[in-house]
Amino acid sequence: MSAYLRLRAVPPPALRNSSTWLERLFDDASETVRHYRDQERIYAGACPNPLARDRPRTHVVLGGRPVFRADRRKPPLLVLTAAQARRVSGFLAAADFDTLWDFARDAVLPHYGGATAEPETWGAFAAAHQELKAFYTHTAECGDAVVKWVPED
């Protein structure tokens, strides 16, 4: 589970549409949230409340407006507006991790040792879920946007 992406909250007035400026946000890694890229399978695969009209589940990890880098071979940075970050926060607040895990476990477990490794894998992803939930809750409370750095494959 060492491959991760990084998230950073940014006040909307400070946000720039420059990949160089956005990359500099991540120079101080201590203030970023590190998150497992495979977590996207958990959110994109299911919705904890099928009656919800606004389902930002695909924005939790890999969604957002791309900002392309000068080196086009590198993955773009992704930006969520403050409004999108609030919707993600609401989604995560309502999400039941066990329900999401049940939908995604068959796709996720083979990458981490299969069924025998499920307790450890579940624990790692559940902890990442709580970290994401806390990050987006705080971000929404502050009215911030979110910038994401997707790792290179």
Nearest to 77 by CA among 147, 5, 153, 4: 147
Q: Chain-wide mean pLDDT for the chain?
A: 86
Q: Which residues of the chain have pLDDT under 70?
A: 1-3, 29-32, 34, 37, 45-57, 153
Give the predicted TM-score (pTM) of the model: 0.87
Q: 22-64: per-residue pLDDT in tens?
A: 999 888 766 667 677 688 888 886 555 554 545 566 788 878 9
- pLDDT computed for residue 51 by the predictor: 47
Residues 6+ apart with CB under 8 A from 120: 112, 113
Residues 6+ apart with CB under 8 A from 71: none
